[in-house]
Amino acid sequence: MSQAGRNSAFTKGMLVLGFVFLYAPILSLMVYSFNESRLVTVWSGFSVKWYGELFADQQMMDAAWVSIQVAFWTACASVVLGTMAAMVMTRFRQFPGKTIFGGLITAPLVMPEVITGLSILLLFVSIGPLIGIGGQRGMLTIWIAHVTFCMAFVTVVISSRLGELDRSLEEAAMDLGANRLKVFFVITLPIIAPALISGWLLAFTLSLDDLVIASFVSGPSSTTLPMKVFSSVRLGVSPKINALATLMIAAVSVAAVIGWWVMHREERKRQRDAQLALQKG
């Protein structure tokens, strides 16, 4: 075998080992969610009873509903605020404090979650009574905290897309009489729509997955799903957790496929419109 063939075989082998290392535990978890035994490492037969027990666990369902609500509104707010911040960073000329503004926007990317959660908790304790929160921490405080760090990720995604955008399209629209607001909604927004969808899905996933920050800013009546799962597995792993994880993996997979399909369709449409424009030109 030639040197190139050996290198290719080695590369493929390492790729396969990497995928096995990443996905074998997930597949094992999904398989054992259908295990009849309560022991998660001993297979005793096929059964779906743990899915029934999962849906019968009201505390788990309440925690899941809280996480879904918080993640949905966090993703929506993060996309709006992240788009505004990205526009400021890529479209506005240099202004005093722009560098500091950019640093503050991206700081949550590198800040340990423990520090972020503690700082937000201290903020709520100090100014909570002034804004009507006081000692009643719950879904609102979790939402504010999640928007704080999710917005940074969304801003980076949208800024990269805006940086690649051909500004001549916006300038041409303004030359034809459109104001900046109309240019944004008619020209800019449709072009960056894939980045908005990606940012929304990323923020939704980050919020749904967060444990550390939510532990700092949540109250007794607002337990999120990661907090409930973490408290459950400390007493022993139940097959219900495997069933829950399997359902979450399925939901995320479906959402990822839908998001990919929408972005692929928008990208093909954009390329087709660009080709038509070149042909007419």
The yes-or-no verdict on residue 97 having pLDDT over 60 is yes
Closest by Cα among 194, 213, 181 to 74: 213
Whole-prediction pTM:
0.82
pLDDT band of 101, cuts 50, 70, 90: confident
Task: Please count the residues of the chain.
Answer: 281
Higher pLDDT, residue 151 or 11 = 151
Residue 153 neighbours by CB under 8 Å, 6+ apart? 78, 82, 109, 199, 202, 203, 206
Average pLDDT over residues 74-85: 94
Among all chains, which residue has been given the structure tokens 């792993």? 237
Closest by Cα among 200, 194, 208, 195 to 75: 200
CA 31 to chain centre: 26
The yes-or-no verdict on residue 134 having pLDDT over 70 is no
User: What's the CA angle centered on 118, arms 80 and 158, to 5 degrees?
Assistant: 20
Q: What tokens were used for 172?
A: 């041409």
Higher pLDDT, residue 194 or 147 = 147
Q: Are 48 and 34 in contact (CB under 8 A)?
A: yes
pLDDT band of 142, cuts 50, 70, 90: very high
pLDDT at residue number 259: 75
The yes-or-no verdict on residue 271 having pLDDT over 70 is yes
Average pLDDT over residues 99-118: 86
What does the mean pLDDT of the chain come to? 84
pLDDT at residue number 80: 95
* CA atoms of 13 and 41, how far apart (whole Å): 28
pLDDT at residue number 135: 59
The yes-or-no verdict on residue 234 having pLDDT over 90 is no
